[in-house]
Homo-oligomer: A and B are copies of this chain.
């Protein structure tokens, strides 16, 4: 089943190996062999993960250089991060409310102590 772009991005991120590959690429381009090195995994298995990331637009692979380096395409994550924004705002509002509540409770406790 063909996924919509946002689902494709989230599905690509739902794997620790693929997230580790992206984590490596954040510091610069790398060849497939370099990317495979830290994993106890066959080269074809790593290549499969790279294809998933490429389909999601999260990485690209140069066709020019002989070592065909992979590079991060961080902007592809933007749509996913933008989608999360209203939820982030909601938990921040909840934290603010909790903060207000705790501050009020502290004030009341101080008033009770003063009266004693």
A residues touching B (Cβ–Cβ < 8 Å)? 3-4, 6-11, 13-16, 19, 22, 26, 72, 74-75, 77-78, 80-81, 83-84, 86-88, 90-91, 94
Contacts and interface: CB of A to CB of B under 8 A. Distances in A.
A10 B7 contact: no
Given A78-B88, A90-B72, A6 B22 contact: no
Contacts of A19: 6-7, 83
A65 to B, nearest CB: 20
B78 A81 contact: no
Count of this chain's copies in the oligomeric assembly = 2
A58 to B, nearest CB: 9
A77 B87 contact: yes
A84 B87 contact: no
B87 A26 contact: yes
A87 B18 CA distance: 14
A26 B86 contact: yes
A87 B81 CA distance: 10
Nearest to A77: B87
